[in-house]
Amino acid sequence: MRKHFSAHIEQIIEESDDIVFVTGDLGYNALENLGLKLGDRFINAGVAEQNMVGIAAGMASQGYRVICYSIAPFIVYRCLEQIRNDVCFHNMPVYLIGNGGGYGYGIMGSSHHAIEDIGTLSGLPNMRCFVPAFIEDMKACLDEMFAQRAPAYFRLGLGKNMPDYLALQNFGAATSANAAAQLTIIAQSPVANNVVAALKEHTYKNKVELFIVNKMPLKGLPDGITASITRTQKVLTVEEHISIGGLGSAVSLLVNENSLPVNKFISLHAEGYPTGLYGSQSYHQQISGLDEENISRIINSYF
């Protein structure tokens, strides 16, 4: 997905002269082409994320759209006050690209994971968080991010191609409406690939409606999701993010605010590091119950 991301950004940049790309000393074997194309509008700000976001806001105030690139946790946590005060309070077009996100950096360890990023950022004023799941919705998210001169965070995970039965929507993607559906699944980030895998040969595949939500904060339930939940009265949310401030809690609040009739609601989410042990991204997904097998088991429990 990173190569598709880089190629798509290159294309966008070729069409505009008001974009500056700032990296926090990262991008080996990924951003070289971009650097060549952008010339002096490609800036390595060094290992100094607070300053990177501060200068980005300063440049944005002079008419530039500024991309800041780093590994997800480094672009979110160290410089949170710069994001809040300098970027968000002033509604500056600074686009934070967080590579990895979730348990994406696997065995690199917890310092390199970002499982609280959406909760941390999505409540900030003017902030738009993009969390694409597949290559196709990533491109749509990028186009939307660049179209608006406002702050954004883009969690860049390792997505695959979107399955045929999903169609892009303004909130992400969705299966077509299904009158026979008995379960509404709402997923976010590339962990949605595990849901797709779980559904592939599933007995109940035709009784499930799947929605991908790739933008946060979730300010209201999309009509399709409201209709689906009203029909199925059963909800499963899946996200590679902690429960607090994530997709499941947002959906839960909206379901209650809209008095939707739900009789079963399960949230599968990142559980942190409950065993105190470390491994690959799929290892951590499994510990949190976000692996294909457990998702399949949970789906079964609804029928």
Partner 1 sequence: MSDYPDMEHKKLQGKLRIKILELHHKANSGHIGCSLSCIDIMISILKFKETEDTFILSKGHAATALYTILNETGEIPDEVMNTFYKNDTTLPAHPAPLKYKAIPFATGSLGHGLPLAVGIAKAKKLKSATGISYVLMSDGETNEGTSWEGGHFAVANKLDNLLVFIDKNRLQGFGNTADILGDTASAKVWEAIGFDVIEVDGHSISAMLEAKKNMIENKNGKPKMIIANTVKGKGIAYMENKMEWHYLPMNEVQYKEAVNKIEIDYDV
**Minimum CB distance to partner 1, residue 226 (Å):** 35
Minimum CB separation from partner 1 for residue 43, in Å? 8
CB closer to partner 1, 61 vs 282:
61
Interaction site with partner 1 (CB under 8 A): 20, 40-41, 43, 45-46, 48, 50-51, 53-64, 81-82, 85-86, 89-91
Q: Residue 201 gets which letter from DSSP?
A: T
- Amino acid present at 119: G
CB of 169 to partner 1, least distance (A): 33
The 3-state DSSP composition of the chain as helix, strand, coil percent (nearest 5) reads: 40, 20, 40
User: Taking the complex as a whole, how short is the minimal distance between the CB of residue 56 and partner 1, in angstroms?
Assistant: 6
Judged by beta carbon, residue 54 or residue 245, the one nearer partner 1 is: 54
25 vs 144, beta carbon nearer partner 1: 25
| Minimum gap (Å) between residue 74 Cβ and partner 1 | 13
Whose Cβ is closer to partner 1: residue 80's or residue 298's?
Answer: 80
Alpha-carbon gap, residue 181 to 225, rounded angstroms: 12
Question: Could you tell me the maximum CA-CA distance found in the chain, to the nearest angstrom?
Answer: 58
Closest CA to 192 of 90, 290, 62: 290
Interhelix angle 135-147/2-14, nearest 10 degrees: 30
Least Å distance between CB 146 and partner 1?
A: 18
Cβ-Cβ contacts under 8 Å for 88 (sequence gap 6 or more):
124, 125, 126, 127, 151
- CB atoms under 10 Å from CB of 8, counted, come to 16
Q: Which is nearer to partner 1, 19 or 216 (CB)?
A: 19
The neighbour count for residue 261, using CB atoms within 10 Å, is 10
Select 41 or 215, whichever has its Cβ closest to partner 1. 41
